Structure 1
Amino acid sequence: MKKSTRALVGLVVLELVILVGAWWLVSQVQSGAMQAPDPGAAITQITQTAGGAMGIIAVVLVLAFVHHRRKGN
């Protein structure tokens, strides 16, 4: 497997892991299994943090993909 392909596969896998983790946390807050003083604020914080992490990972791995493609890997 080429390094550029690995970067894309890694991007998809990491994005899915973060998405599933954020979905699980939000569902736990909504169901009351996780206690939060303000559930609305907790859900907002979870989604903003997950979105930021997904954005950073996407930028880094897309840059890695482009770099490896240019080198022919």
Structure 2
Amino acid sequence: MFTTICPECHVQILIGSDPYIGQKVACPSCKIPLEIVWLFPLSLGYLEEDTLSSPSIIQVDEELHSLGS
């Protein structure tokens, strides 16, 4: 299993055993949508606005998203 840190709230995130660049994840604490941008070390970046509408991305509840701001 791989872990990394959320760039927004700094909580440790469990990624899984086979991460890949471009993999979409959501922080379990602040719910912000992120993607893997680097593998070694494992690093997350913010998703761009136009990517958020993609069907392959976990949609974040707006109420929860605003709590993380």
Task: Find the structure with the greater CA-based Rg.
Answer: 1
Higher relative contact order (CA 8 A, sep 6+): 1
> Normalising by structure 1, what TM-score?
0.21
Say which structure is richer in helix. Answer: 1
> Normalising by structure 2, what TM-score?
0.21
